[in-house]
Chain A
Amino acid sequence: MLEIKELHASVAKKEILKGLSLSVKAGEVHAIMGPNGSGKSTLAQVLAGHPSYTVTGGTVSYFGKDLLEMSPEDRAKEGIFLAFQYPVEIPGVSNSYFLRAGYNEIRKHRGEPELDVMDFNKLLKERSKVLHIDDSLLNRPVNEGFSGGEKKRNEIFQLAVLEPRLAILDETDSGLDIDALRTVSDGVNKLRSKDRAFIVVTHYQRLLNYIVPDFVHVLSAGKIVKSGGKELALELEKRGYDWVKEPVAAGAAL
C-alpha cells in the first residue's frame, strides 16, 4: 500500500531524510528504529504531511496515489493515522466531539452517512471497553490535563475509532511506565488486521516485546541502513546502534 522511494526531506532548511526507501504491504507491521536524530520522527511527520517539513526529493505512493500531493486532512481521510509523540491539547473541546468531527469527515469522504451524537457515543463506549479505556476520558477536553500515559492511550483510542488503513506510531512508548506500555501495546495488537499496516517508530527494543513486528529497519542519518526480521531488534538491544552506523558514515562521505 505504501511505497517510499529515495525520500529526501528537510526541516528549517536542514536535510534530515537523505534518500529513504521503504515498502509496506497491508497486514504488515514495520518497526523503524534508530538513534536520536536519525530521522525517525521526521519520517512519521512527512508521511502525515506536517507543513514544517519540506520534501526535497523522492516519491511516496499510497495505494497508487501520489501521497505528497495530498493535504494532511485528505491523507487522514484516505486512512493514514499518526499517533503523535506529543499529542496536542485543545482546551474546551471534548474528546468525543473532536473524534466525531474527524470520524464523520472520514465517513463523508467514503460516501457513508455521518453518525449522530447518540450512535457515535455508542460506538465510543464499545471501543473504550475493548481497549480497557476509562470512558470518563471521552468527555474531558482533548488531552488537556492528561498525564503522559493518558495522552498516549488516547492516541491509541483514536486509532481504534478512526480505523485507519495505515497507522504510524511515533515513539508511542516514550515516557510510558510498564503498565501503560502494556495497555497501549494490547490495544495495538487488538487492532492488527490483514487490511491494516503499522509503522512503529521507536527508540527502544522494549516496545517490540509487546508489539512483535514483521520487519525491523534501522534508520541512521536519514537512510535505512539495515533491515531484517524481529531478531534484528534484539541484536540492536545487545550491540547498540554503533555497529550499524558505520557503513552509513562511509556512505555519507561519498
Chain B
Amino acid sequence: MEPVEELATKEYKWGFVTDIESETIAKGLNEDVVRLISSKKNEPTWLLDWRLNAFRQWQKLKEPKWPNVTYPPIDYQACSYYSAPKQNVKKGSMDEIDPELVKTYEKLGIPLDEQKRLSNVAVDAVFDSVSVATTAKDYLEKLGIIFCSFSEAVQKHPDLIRKYLGSVVPSNDNFFASLNSAVFSDGSFCWIPKGVKCPMELSTYFRINAADTGQFERTLIVAEEGAIVSYLEGCTAPKRDTNQLHAAVVELVAQKDANIKYSTVQNWYPGDKEGKGGIYNFVTKRGRCAGANSKISWTQVETGSAITWKYPSVILQGDNSVGEFYSVAVVNNRQQADTGTKMIHVGKNTRSTIVSKGISAGKGQNTYRGQVKVVKKATGARNYTQCDSLLIGDRCGAHTFPYIEVQNSSARVEHEASTSKISEDQIFYCKQRGVSTENAINMIVNGFCKEVFRELPMEFAVEAQKLLGVSLDGSVG
C-alpha cells in the first residue's frame, strides 16, 4: 500500500522564551546545593534533614535501565537545580508580579489576573523553580480549602506537610523520586477538608523557561473524609537544542469516601524532527486510597517530551476503594514513551480500571507498562485492563508489557489488548467525503481516544483534541 502523504509540520507554538532576569544557582549537585535550596526557601530543620536524607539515598541508587527508552547518559552535575525569576518574594496581589510573567501566562492561555481568570478554574502558576501566582485563593479559603504553592504550605501548614510528605512516595522510592526529594523547589499543595466538595477545578501550570536547568516540583493533594476534588495539570517549555530534565513527584491521599480526579495534559517540548532537544520527563505519580470507599482517578494525555517515563499508580488500601487510569500517549518523530500504571489491590472488594491508548507516529516508540497486583488479603478484587495501540506509518513502534500478580483466588483480572494501523483505505474513505488527510487523521485518532477524552473535564477535552492534532502533524509517512 502507498504511504500516506507527508503533511506540513506545524511549529510547537509554546516554544517561546520569556526574557526575564533570573537567579540561577551554579550548576552541579552536592549537599551544599541541597542546603542552599532549603535555605532559600527558609525551611524548617526537619525538612532540610528530610532532603539531605533523600540526597544520601539518591547517591546509592542507580538510574533505572529497564524502561524501553534510549538516551545518552545524563550528567547530573551539568545542570542547575534552582532557577527563579528575580522579583520580590511572592506577593498576594497580582499588581506586584512581574508583568513579563503575567504576559507569559497570558500567551499560554492562562490569565492570572483575577478579573480575567477562567471562571471555574483556580490556577497555581509555577515558573521554573517557583510558584509565581495562585488565583482564587481567597475564595477557596472561605470553604476551608487550602490551595497554594508548596513553599507557602511549608511555612503556613507545616504539620500537614510533615504528616503527608513522602507518605505515598517515600524519599527512597526510586532514583528520580529521590533526586526530586533532595532538590524539589516548588509545586502545589491542595488540602480539602472533611465533607467539602471543591466547587472549582484546581490546576497547576508548569512552565520551564531557563536553559540548562531542571524542574523538580512536588504536588501533594489530600482529600479528607468525604471530600471531592478535581485537579488539572498542564505544562510547556521553550524550544531548546539541549535536553532538559523534569523529575516531578505527585502524591495523592484519599481518605474514607473521598474522591480525587487528577487530569494531566502534558505538552513539554518534544524536541525537533531529528530528536534534538526536548524534555526528559521522569515523573513519579502515585495515589493512596487510604480510606474505605475512596476513589482516585488518573487521566493523562501525553503528547510532549522527548522521553516520558511515568506510571501514575494507585494503592487501593481501603476496602471497596476504586482506582482508575485513563491514558493517551502520543509519540511522533523520535519521541519515546514508556508509560502505564500500577494498581496495587490491598483492601477487600477493591476495583481498578485501566484504559491505555498509545499512538505511535514518525519514528516514535511507545511502550505501555502496567502492573496489576492483588495481595493475599484482597478478597474480591477486580481489575479490567484495556490496552490499545494505534500505528501511523511503518517506522514507529508499539510495545506492551503487562505484569499481573494475583495472590488471592477470588480476584478477577481481565486484560484486553489490540494493535491497529490507520489504513490508507480509512483515509481515502474520509477524503472521498471531502475531508482532508490531516482532518481525517485527526478524526480517526480522536475516535480512537474517545474513551479517555470523555474522562477529561470539558474545557480540557477540547484542548486535548486540538493538541493531538498539532502533535501528529507531519507524522504520516
| Residues of chain A having any CB pair with chain B under 8 Å | 48-52, 71-73, 75-77, 81-82, 84, 87-93, 97-99, 101-103, 105-106, 109, 141, 158, 162
Contacts and interface: CB of A to CB of B under 8 A. Distances in A.
B42 interface: no
Contact of A92 (B429, B439, B446): B446
Interface of B: 1-2, 423-426, 428-437, 439, 443-444, 446-451
Nearest to B418: A91
B431 A72 contact: yes
A76 B434 contact: yes
B434 A77 contact: yes
Contacts, number: 83
A73 B2 contact: no
A91 B418 CA distance: 13
Contacts of A109: 434
Given A90-B444, A97-B443, A162-B434, 11 more contacts: A48-B432, A49-B431, A51-B428, A72-B432, A73-B434, A76-B434, A90-B426, A92-B449, A98-B433, A103-B434, A158-B433
Contact of B431 (A73, A91, A93, A106): A73
Contacts of A52: 1-2, 424
A123 to B, nearest CB: 15
A99 to B, nearest CB: 7
Given A51-B424, A52-B424, A101-B439, A90 B432 contact: no
Contacts of B430: 90, 98, 101-102
Of all A-B residue pairs in the complex, the 6 with the closest CB atoms, nearest first, are: A92-B447, A102-B433, A93-B447, A105-B434, A76-B434, A72-B431
Interface of B is mostly: helix
Contacts of B449: 92
A58 B434 CA distance: 25
Contact of B425 (A73, A88, A97, A141): A88
A162 B435 CA distance: 12
A106 B423 CA distance: 23
Contacts of B450: 92
A93 B465 CA distance: 13
Contacts of B446: 92-93
B437 to A, nearest CB: 8
Contacts of B444: 90, 93
18 contacts: A49-B431, A73-B432, A76-B431, A77-B434, A89-B426, A90-B426, A92-B449, A92-B450, A93-B447, A97-B443, A101-B430, A101-B435, A101-B439, A101-B443, A102-B430, A102-B433, A105-B433, A105-B434
The residue in B423, B433, B435 that gathers the most chain A C-beta atoms within 10 A of its C-beta is: B433
A91 B433 contact: no
A90 B434 contact: no
Contacts of A76: 431-434
B433 A141 contact: no
Contacts of A93: 443-444, 446-447
Contacts of A101: 430, 433-435, 439, 443
Contact of B429 (A84, A99, A162): A84
A204 to B, nearest CB: 24
A73 B432 CA distance: 6
A102 B435 contact: yes
Instruction: Count chain A CB atoms within 10 A of each CB in B439, B447, B448 and give the residue with the most.
Output: B447
A48 B430 CA distance: 12
Given A90-B444, A92-B448, A105 B435 contact: yes
B428 A50 contact: yes
Contacts of A88: 423, 425-426, 428-429
B443 A102 contact: no
A48 B451 CA distance: 33
A52 B4 CA distance: 11
A72 B429 CA distance: 9
A89 B447 CA distance: 11
B34 to A, nearest CB: 48
A109 B435 CA distance: 11
B435 A51 contact: no
Contacts of B434: 73, 76-77, 101-103, 105-106, 109, 162
Nearest to A75: B432
A89 B448 CA distance: 12
A110 to B, nearest CB: 11
Contact of B433 (A50, A51, A162): A162
Q: Which of A76, A77, A84, A92 has the most CB of B within 10 A?
A: A92
A68 to B, nearest CB: 15
A71 B431 contact: yes
Contacts of B426: 88-90
Contact of B447 (A48, A49, A87, A91): A91
A231 to B, nearest CB: 33
B428 A72 contact: yes
A52 B436 CA distance: 17
Contacts of B443: 90, 93, 97-98, 101
Nearest to A97: B443
Contacts of A48: 428, 432
A228 to B, nearest CB: 30
Which interface residue of B425, B429, B434, B436 has the most chain A CB atoms within 10 A? B434
